Structure 1
Amino acid sequence: SRGTLRVWDPASDAIARFAHIARFDHSAAWVTSGRYTPGVPGGAASVVDAAGDPLEVAGHVETTLGGSAVRLVAVRSAAFRGAARLQLIVQDATSALPEDDPGSTYSMGRFLYLDDPGVAADVELDWNLLVLPPCAFSYQFACPIPPAENRI
């Protein structure tokens, strides 16, 4: 099989031009509660990365955003400090191409990580903690495509 070699050049023009990441101000209004419901182990994957590889769907998180009830797909994420994690891959009204909206976030969306309770449980969703995916910084990274349910 063939592999891909990605070269990291800390002196590249892109890194030299990088100054900061714009962010929204923290707001308590962007902390919501939700309900996590695990899926069936080995169930169908409805989320794929940019290479078309399926991601394991862990379950769903139901919450209310902007007055509307949403049911978001949660995928399994790598453990963080030894703890199981869930990942929400989301696009929202701020996701746009910079030339279309200079005040926007990355067009392909952002990630929100949650501790995985392992069972059906109430969870806190702090939308202030959304992060940019690696592909926001380089096209050499293949990021997952937000499922339709996670385009809010």
Structure 2
Amino acid sequence: MSVDSRSPLFMPVVVLGGALFGFGLAHSGMAKPEIVLDFLQLQDLGLVFVMGGAAAVTGITITVATRYLGHAPLTGERYGKREKTFDRSVLLGGVVFGVGWGISGLCPGSAYASLGIGNFPILIGIAGMFLGAYAQGYWRSYREGTTGTAMPGD
């Protein structure tokens, strides 16, 4: 579906959802690196309830939406699974993501949310995320150029 055929409410709902997500992260403490690091070191398990609550709401929403709606209300696109095989890239990406999360104490979503609570030094970490994403994209383009094979979805 093209961007032009989306509902005019699409972007406001996305912005509202992002603001709600950021507020929830900040309110729960997940935007504070010291709390997240305590969680990762199994010293403060309160964030298990935050993540568990989020997983429960998401699971219920996806189950209800896919069963009763059949298509996304704001885009009109049909719901469907994104088929992605579990391969070496997925495993390596997960390891790199986890190490970055452990070093910084923040995942990308909570890093952006922490800006809202005045954690401006996290901009260094966010710059690192962009640099890492750019490096991975550059490496993938280089690899495709040398092997002569395109990645799925290209």
| Superposition TM-score, scaled by structure 1 size | 0.22
Larger Rg: 2
Higher relative contact order (CA 8 A, sep 6+): 2
**More helix by percentage:** 2
| Superposition TM-score, scaled by structure 2 size | 0.22
